[in-house]
A = this chain, B = another copy of it.
Amino acid sequence: MKQGFLHTLSRSQFQELLKAFAPTAAEPVPFDQAHQRVLAEGLLSPEDLPAGRRSAMDGYALAARDAFGASESNPAYLECLAEIEVNRAPDFALEPGTCAWIPTGGFLPQGADSVVMVEYTQEMGAGTIEVRQSLAPGENVMEQGEDAASGEPALSAGSRLRTQEIGLLAALGIGSVRVHRRPRVGIISTGDELVAVDAKPQLGQIRDVNSYTVACLAEEAGGVARRFGIVGDDLDGLVAVLQTALADSDLVLLSGGSSKGTRDMTIAAIEALPDMEILAHGVSISPGKPTILARVGDKPVVGLPGQVGSAQVVMTVLGQPFIRHLAGARQAFEEILRPLRRARLARNLASRQGREDFVRVRLEPAAGGLPLAQPVMGKSGLLRTLLQSHGLLVIPAESEGFQQGDEVDVWVL
């Protein structure tokens, strides 16, 4: 199906197209190798966590009614029956008017419903404990099943396994989980002027940079990057490499040469394949406008701009969230958790309305609070501007720019 002229899309329109691709299939992975992976299936808790009522503090386990109304000026007095050990459930029960020393994490004895912190008590000798605080039942107690209840959902499908989720799996003894496979990202560099990194370029030629920078960014987002080499100005060659890459990848990224010719060849190579659709040709971000999105069968192909800085912006803004989406993350395109560095803009920055501008900035310490965001200007083909930058400042499509001194959010690269 050949496509005619396609309008430039807004970033959110482009993202909607990306979201329509399905995440990768599930695979079983040992829980301690699943950090940052995404659950493909919800998990029920196999047991109660905690397994019983545990103390959240060092102190005395007691029945709250036995310290009813207790205060500094009107303490209650209880008999201490025993010291509970942290590794053993107590085998005795509290009678009215008694308590037991309990360490943090210790299991409460029968008859106790709360724990008074040691700071609010005093040993009076002869086993008598003065309690100078009134307690509510349940106070300083982790209830049985409060973290996870047997048979109830513990983690839902689509949960990213952060450190704390790995901790929950450990606590529940869940040794293996079904997570989405890491997306295999095939990378092809195109451009007649490109030579391999280990080659000596002739005058006019340059070494292939984008295969490596794009691979770094793909891996950073959780993908497994594989480079399929460099293709020059050879349509048949590109079609063949693209087919090979598609067979072994969940997503193929074509890093175009800088010239318009290689962009046209990217489109032509995609159009030479069966069951394809060019979904977008152009997105209204700068840099990054000439980005291409296509579907071949059910697999996505993205054509990145050739300039290394432009490719980096497109990968950061669209490519990395897309790889996280393919890896199963819900809300991969949501911005709420994107880490940003608040900074103060060092000089005026104008922007054309109707497109999002991503301006490279350097962050410099400044007296009294926010760092200074210093725009790094320079020719877009240079690496120097990237090397000098710490992050990207986003000028929204509806804005005409920012003024010197404005507070801005910087995406840290």
| Residues of A near any B CB (own CB < 8 A) | 31-32, 35, 49-52, 54, 56, 58, 85-89, 103-107, 140-142, 146-147, 162-173, 175, 191-193, 197-213, 215-217, 219-220, 232, 257-261, 306-308, 312, 336-342, 363-365, 371, 379-384, 386-387, 389-390, 409, 412-413
With A50-B206, A201-B51, A258-B104: A192-B86 Cβ-Cβ less than 8 Å: yes
Write out the residue numbers on chain B whose beta carbons fall within 8 Å of the beta carbon of A384: 146-147
Contacting pair A87 B192 (CB below 8 A): yes
Residue of B nearest to A105 (CB): B258
A200 to B207, CA, bound (A): 57
Distance in angstroms from A412 CB to nearest chain B CB is 5
Residue of B nearest to A308 (CB): B167
With A51-B201, A258-B104, A342-B340: A142-B390 Cβ-Cβ less than 8 Å: no
Q: Which of B173, B202, B206, B409 contacts A171 (CB 8 A)?
A: B206
A385 to B31, CA, bound (A): 21
A172 to B339, CA, bound (A): 32
A371 to B359, CA, bound (A): 23
Most chain B CB neighbours (cut-off 10 Å) among A105, A165, A363: A105
Q: Can you list 27 residue pairs at the A/B interface with Cβ under 8 Å?
A: A35-B216, A54-B381, A56-B379, A58-B259, A86-B258, A86-B259, A86-B261, A87-B192, A87-B204, A147-B384, A163-B213, A163-B220, A163-B312, A164-B386, A166-B212, A166-B213, A167-B210, A167-B383, A168-B387, A170-B208, A171-B207, A173-B198, A336-B341, A336-B364, A338-B341, A339-B340, A340-B340
Residue of B nearest to A413 (CB): B162
Contacting pair A381 B104 (CB below 8 A): yes
A105 to B305, CA, bound (A): 13
Contacting pair B107 A204 (CB below 8 A): yes
Write out the residue numbers on chain B whose beta carbons fall within 8 Å of the beta carbon of A380: 56
With contacts A164-B386, A338-B341 known, what are 11 further pairs, Cβ within 8 A? Answer: A35-B219, A49-B383, A86-B191, A86-B258, A103-B260, A105-B206, A166-B213, A168-B387, A171-B207, A173-B198, A342-B342
